[in-house]
Amino acid sequence: MNRNEIIAELKNYFSISDLVCPDTFQSFGQSAWQFLSTEFLHTLLIVRRDILKSPMICNNYTKGGGTFRQRGLRCNLCDLVKDKTADGKIYLSAHITGNAGDFDVKGMTAMQARQTIIDNVSQLPYPIRLEEGVSWLHLDVYDSGKNQPFTLFTA
């Protein structure tokens, strides 16, 4: 699948406003797809459509009263990023390079979602990282370079 085909298929499952912060969506609208890496988008499609087969909630600020705003792409105006800069700390989270999302998966716990992905990791086109011990599903495509299909990490 090429990038355009991946995005067209992903639109059956996600709005771009779900996957980027409100600042980015307000400035770029549908053009904000450009900020998400092809590796991440392809991985997200396979995880959503073929592995978990259940709705995945990332951000929801467009749906009235939603509170999740920094769970997909984070820009320099997002508090999590701004605070690191103000503190003089480096911040290279996969969330700021268009390579990550945090999700709630309908009908399963984060632990169940992680295990289901690990059980089916051979279907994925790129190595993934999953954050361990958190109540949400953090999925990213930073490559540890260890030639492993998946890496578990703690922030």
Q: Does 82 bind Zn ion (CB under 5 A)?
A: no
The piece of 38-46, 76-84, 91-99, 132-140 that touches Zn ion (CB under 5 A) is 76-84
Name residues contacting Zn ion, limited to 7-36 (CB under 5 A): 21, 23
Question: Out of 16, 32, 51, 78, which residue is the one contacting Zn ion (CB under 5 A)?
Answer: 78
Q: How far is the CB of 75 from Zn ion (least distance, A)?
A: 3
* Cα separation values, 53 from 29, 31, 103, Å: 27, 27, 14
Q: How far is the CB of 64 from Zn ion (least distance, A)?
A: 20
- Distance, in Å, from the CA atom of 106 to the CA atom of 57, rounded to the nearest integer, reads 8
Structure tokens at 54: 């259940």
Q: How far is the CB of 20 from Zn ion (least distance, A)?
A: 8
Minimum CB distance to Zn ion smaller for 75 or for 128: 75
Q: How far is the CB of 55 from Zn ion (least distance, A)?
A: 24
Contact at 8 Å (CB) between 129 and 141?
Answer: yes
In 3D space, the residue among 40, 53, 34, 37 whose CA is nearest the CA of residue 128 turns out to be 40
In 3D space, the residue among 133, 139, 117 whose CA is nearest the CA of residue 19 turns out to be 139
Q: What is the contact surface with Zn ion in residues (CB under 5 A)? A: 21, 23, 75, 77-78
